[in-house]
């Protein structure tokens, strides 16, 4: 049995090599459990409260185990932190000769083929001064870069349209048929990953490969001894996305554009092709225009009541089929034309499957629904349950699987997560945060607020929040459960601040990138940041800049969401209680994420204000607050004011 005490002890290897390291018994216990899981090819679900140090707890046994390890994180930002900071620090402390590779999805790597096509083409829609400048920067970067990772070129904004034209998608990648295959940045990254002992990926890449056998893990997984999922609470949603199928009008417009480029370069004498491309492009746009709303989701029965939708979808199938037939006659003229033909054929199959079936080949139930954005309409088929599909991946071959996050349980009960992910008899363990929550934090639930369904609820929330914001001197996150509530809170606070001559800066999600907003928040030191889902997790603001987190209401997902609605119906039909078994656990895990923004360090102090009266009036409210860290609780504003007054006096003294 691996003895990890020499690593984690107060005078151990980590303490000697990593500045600021503190010995935590929870961290060492977690590391020991992970080491045992790796040794016996087991299955471990580990919840580690904020401050436990879960990253080192899984890195140490993973690097010492000696086998091949895949670490999957929630975001590319966490990937970069692991690869550039955490793993090098632990590897140096342990003095182990472990090789490490970073592997991202193909959209993160410059594609030589599409870059060259963009440089040659004079008809691209992105031609303007900024995009031309960006294209030239990318060309020079591609010539000198070793990895072609677009994150290495900060001079071109991550959301610049030009990236769309110089990177490949699964659909338009030519694979081994590409003339630039031998110098492909993506293929080089995959080779490095195959050779490395530890490979850092993200959840989207992991599941894209599991389902599509496409993104470079196909050869990695069979050779892998251990898979570690960090931020594992995100897996059910990510897995649902990739275990389902989708096709969008945006993909079809991309296909039309690629067809135009390939026609100009390889098939100018095919007179029928431009008209077929234009007809399909128009049909795709007409399908989007058949629905007047935007940023909404429709269940299949609802969208079928739209009299314009079905004719527009049939017209799209017809025009896409016409285009595919012509592309088939031209496919042998270039790799690009062959790729366009294959994509058109695949899209037809996806759309027809969406139209005709609610089950897959193995009988798994799917819910069909439509999502409408400002310019794109997407057809989706999502499995009602991912448990059986994912459990097949677990049982494919013997290896260790570790799932870890700060938020996986409800009152330290993991049944919901285990059932949802199909983890069966997995060992599940919970380690509490080492922080002193009774001394560091106060949970405040104000009195007198109406039910969240009341039309004046948000106004009441703002009225209750105002004296708390004054007591905290700003320094707050206001986390809202919807974009509409977020905007209303912002407008009401701005109006109140103007009336009372309050000068705390108000920052609203969407006024800049998340990283830019956080940078401003930290620098201002007395700001109030109002955000929605983007700021509920993955945010780390330590110190006095964040001393108050206000949550407008309990984060229950809207029951009219097509996928949630179908899952609720299925659970209830099968004799279960969907609210207690599914909706409540999801809300608890989301609330724990939001609450986790408050205390990030041993010296942090702050107030968590949850405005929803259901926390005290409903029978399930007790289960919710008992799942939160053990803060002192109050319903009195005077206690909140005294908490901040004590903080101010401590700071002065």
Same domain, 89 and 148: no
Q: Please check the confidence at residue 517 and state whether its pLDDT lies above 50.
A: yes
> DSSP readout, 297-331?
EEEHHHHTT-TTHHHHHHHHHHHHHHHHHHHHHHG
User: What is the token pair recorded at 452?
Assistant: 């969240």
Region 601-612: mean pLDDT is 95
How many angstroms separate the CA atoms of 348 and 341, rounded?
11
Answer yes or no: do 408 and 536 share one domain: no
643 or 173: which carries more pLDDT confidence?
643
* Ordered alpha helix ranges (H), 53-147: 54-65, 76-81, 87-94, 112-120, 129-144
31 and 82 within one domain: yes
Reported as a single tens digit per residue, the pLDDT across 156-201 is: 888 788 898 899 988 888 888 889 999 999 999 989 998 999 999 9
Looking at the domain assignment, is residue 212 inside a domain?
yes
CA 551 to CA 559: how far, in whole Å?
20
Residue 360: predicted pLDDT: 52
Check whether residue 627 and residue 486 sit in a common domain.
Answer: yes
The reply to whether 424 and 332 lie within a common domain is no
Q: Report the b/e string of 533-560 with b at 16+ CB within 10 A.
A: bebbbbbebeebbbbbbbbbbbbbbeee
Residues 231 and 143 both lie in one domain: no
pLDDT score for 123: 57
pTM, full prediction: 0.88
pLDDT at 652 over 50: no
In a domain, 15, yes or no: yes
Q: Is residue 348 part of a domain?
A: yes
Range of the domain at 133: 110-167
Give pLDDT tens digits for 326-338.
Answer: 999 999 999 889 9
Most confident by average pLDDT, 86-100, 177-191, 201-215, 530-544: 86-100
What sign results for the dihedral spanned by CA atoms 82, 86, 88, 90?
negative
Residues listed for the chain? 653
93-134 pLDDT tens trace: 999 999 999 999 888 999 999 999 888 875 555 567 788 889
User: How sure is the predictor about 363, in pLDDT bands with cuts at 50, 70 and 90?
Assistant: very low
Say if residue 51 is in the same domain as residue 65. Answer: yes
Q: How confident is the model at residue 352 (pLDDT cuts 50, 70, 90)?
A: very high
Average pLDDT, the chain: 90
Give domain status of residue 174, yes or no.
no
pLDDT at 84 over 80: yes
The torsion region of residue 457 among left (phi > 0), alpha (psi -120 to 50) and beta comes to alpha
What's the number of domains the chain is made of?
4
Q: Over pLDDT 70: what percentage of the chain? A: 95
| 135 and 80 within one domain | no
Asked whether the predicted pLDDT for residue 269 surpasses 50, the reply is yes
From 479-488, 595-604, 640-649, the region with the lowest mean pLDDT: 640-649
Task: Tell me whether residue 179 is in a domain.
Answer: no
pLDDT of residue 405: 96
Residue 175 located in a structural domain = no
Q: CATH number for the domain including 215?
A: 3.40.50.300
Residue 592 φ/ψ region, left for φ over 0, alpha for ψ in the -120 to 50 degree band, beta for the rest: alpha
pLDDT at 31 over 60: yes
User: What is the predicted pLDDT for the residue at 151?
Assistant: 85
546 vs 560: which has the higher pLDDT: 546
Query: Which of the listed residues 404, 431, 458 is the one where a domain comes to its end?
Result: 431
Over range 302-311, report the average pLDDT: 94
Q: Is residue 180 part of a domain?
A: no
Whole-angstrom Cα distance, residue 98 to residue 258? 42
CATH number at residue 301: 1.10.275
The model's confidence at residue 653, banded by pLDDT at 50, 70 and 90, is: very low
Q: Tell me, yes or no, whether 571 and 612 share the same domain.
A: yes
Q: Do 378 and 463 have their domain in common?
A: no
* CA dist list (Å): 238 to 93, 147, 461, 536: 34, 27, 32, 17
Rounded-to-integer distance, Cα 502 and Cα 75, Å: 37
pLDDT category at 242 given cuts 50, 70, 90 is: confident
In 3-state terms, what secondary structure has residue 557?
coil
**64/183 Cα distance (integer angstroms):** 34
Residues 100 and 114 in one domain: no
**Span 412-431, mean pLDDT?**
93
DSSP secondary structure code for residue 233 in this structure: G
CB-based contact 100:91 (threshold 8 Å): yes
- Among residues 101, 138, 98, 133, the alpha carbon closest in space to that of 117 is found at 138
Task: Tell whether 50 and 97 lie within a shared domain.
Answer: yes
Q: Is residue 643 part of a domain?
A: yes
Sign of CA dihedral 493, 495, 498, 501: negative
């Amino acid at each position: 049995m691996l003895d990890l005490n020499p690593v984690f002890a107060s005078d151990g290897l980590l303490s000697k090599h990593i500045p600021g390291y503190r010995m935590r018994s929870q961290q060492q216990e977690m590391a020991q459990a992970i080491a045992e899981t790796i040794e016996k090819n087991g299955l471990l679900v580990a919840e580690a409260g904020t401050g436990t140090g879960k990253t080192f707890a899984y890195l140490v046994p993973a690097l010492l185990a000696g086998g091949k390890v895949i670490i999957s994180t929630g975001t590319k930002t966490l990937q970069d932190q692991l690869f550039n900071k955490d793993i090098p620090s632990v590897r140096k402390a342990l003095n182990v000769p472990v090789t490490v590779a970073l592997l991202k999805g193909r959209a993160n790597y410059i594609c030589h083929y599409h870059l060259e096509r963009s440089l040659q083409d004079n008809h691209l829609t992105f031609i303007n001064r900024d995009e031309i400048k960006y294209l030239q920067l990318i060309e020079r970067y591609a010539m000198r870069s070793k990895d072609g990772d677009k994150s290495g070129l900060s001079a071109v904004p991550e959301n610049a349209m030009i990236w769309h034209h110089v990177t490949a998608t699964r659909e338009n990648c030519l694979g081994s048929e590409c003339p630039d295959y031998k110098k492909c940045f993506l293929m080089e990254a995959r080779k490095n990953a195959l050779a490395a002992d530890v490979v850092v990926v993200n959840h989207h890449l992991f599941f894209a490969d599991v389902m599509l056998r496409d993104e470079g893990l196909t050869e990695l997984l069979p050779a892998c001894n251990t898979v570690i999922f960090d931020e594992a609470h995100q897996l059910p949603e990510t897995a649902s996305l990739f275990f389902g199928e989708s096709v969008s009008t945006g993909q079809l417009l991309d296909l039309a554009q690629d067809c135009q480029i390939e026609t100009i370069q390889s098939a100018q004498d095919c007179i029928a092709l431009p008209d077929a491309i234009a007809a399909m492009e128009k049909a795709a746009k007409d399908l989007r225009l058949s629905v007047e709303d935007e940023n909404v989701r429709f269940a299949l029965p609802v969208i079928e009541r739209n009299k314009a939708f079905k004719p527009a979808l049939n017209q799209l199938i017809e025009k896409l089929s016409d285009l595919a037939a012509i592309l088939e006659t031209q496919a042998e003229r270039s790799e690009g034309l062959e790729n366009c033909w294959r994509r058109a054929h695949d899209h037809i199959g996806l759309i027809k499957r969406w139209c005709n079936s609610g089950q897959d080949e193995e009988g798994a139930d799917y819910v069909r629904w439509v999502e409408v954005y400002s310019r794109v309409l997407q057809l989706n088929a999502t499995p009602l349950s991912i448990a059986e599909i994912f459990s097949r991946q677990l049982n494919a071959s013997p290896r260790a699987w570790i799932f870890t996050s700060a938020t996986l349980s409800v009152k330290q009960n993991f049944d919901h997560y285990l059932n949802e992910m199909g983890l069966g008899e997995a060992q599940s363990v919970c380690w509490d945060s080492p922080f002193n929550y009774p001394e560091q934090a106060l949970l405040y639930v104000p009195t007198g607020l109406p039910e969240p369904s009341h039309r004046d609820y948000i106004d009441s929330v703002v009225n209750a929040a105002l004296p708390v914001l004054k007591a905290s001197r700003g320094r707050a996150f206001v986390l809202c459960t919807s974009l509409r509530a977020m905007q209303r809170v912002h407008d009401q606070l701005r109006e109140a601040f103007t009336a009372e001559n309050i000068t705390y800066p108000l920052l609203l999600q969407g006024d800049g990138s998340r990283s830019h907003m956080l940078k401003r928040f930290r620098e201002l030191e007395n700001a109030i940041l109002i955000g929605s889902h983007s700021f509920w997790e993955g945010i780390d603001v330590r110190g006095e800049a964040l001393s108050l987190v206000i949550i407008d209401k309990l984060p229950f997902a809207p029951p009219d969401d097509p996928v949630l609605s179908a899952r609720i119906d299925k659970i209830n039909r099968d004799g279960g209680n969907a609210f207690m078994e599914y909706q409540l656990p999801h809300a608890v895990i989301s609330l724990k994420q939001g609450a986790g923004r408050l205390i990030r360090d041993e010296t942090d102090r702050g107030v968590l204000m949850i405005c929803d009266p259901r926390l005290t009036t409903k029978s399930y409210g007790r289960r919710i607050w008992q799942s939160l860290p053990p803060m002192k609780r109050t319903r009195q504003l005077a206690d909140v004011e005294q908490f901040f007054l004590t903080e101010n006096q401590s700071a002065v003294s």
